């Protein structure tokens, strides 16, 4: 694969918001769930790309919006704690 090849992912705005929040928390804790520097770089770049498409984190109602989005995703795809989530 050439260095400049790009891949476009299509995910919902809800998924973007949940992923952004998770990466923000992981990054803020000082440790990303990565095994080497390349994985950390990829996660940082993903976090930055997700952030570009969001205005919600800057709203005063961010926590409420995030809770609503999480509930909607869980209702739509199942709960990971019960093993019923579907990809």
31 vs 22, 40, 51, CA distance in Å?
Answer: 12, 9, 19
Higher model confidence: residue 7 or residue 66? 66
pLDDT of residue 36 exceeding 50: yes
Nearest Cα neighbor of 47 from 36, 33, 62, 59 is 33
Every domain of the chain and the residues it spans: 13-78
Kindly report, residue by residue over 39-83, the tens digit of the pLDDT.
888 888 999 999 998 999 999 999 999 999 999 999 999 876 654
């Amino acid at each position: 694969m050439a260095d400049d090849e790009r891949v476009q992912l299509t995910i919902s705005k809800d998924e973007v918001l949940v992923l952004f929040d998770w990466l923000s928390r992981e990054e803020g804790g000082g440790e990303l769930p990565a095994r080497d520097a390349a994985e950390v770089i990829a996660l940082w770049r993903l976090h930055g790309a997700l952030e570009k498409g969001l205005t919600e984190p800057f709203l005063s109602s961010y926590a409420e919006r995030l809770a609503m989005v999480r509930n909607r995703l869980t209702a739509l795809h199942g709960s990971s704690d019960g093993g019923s989530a579907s990809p």
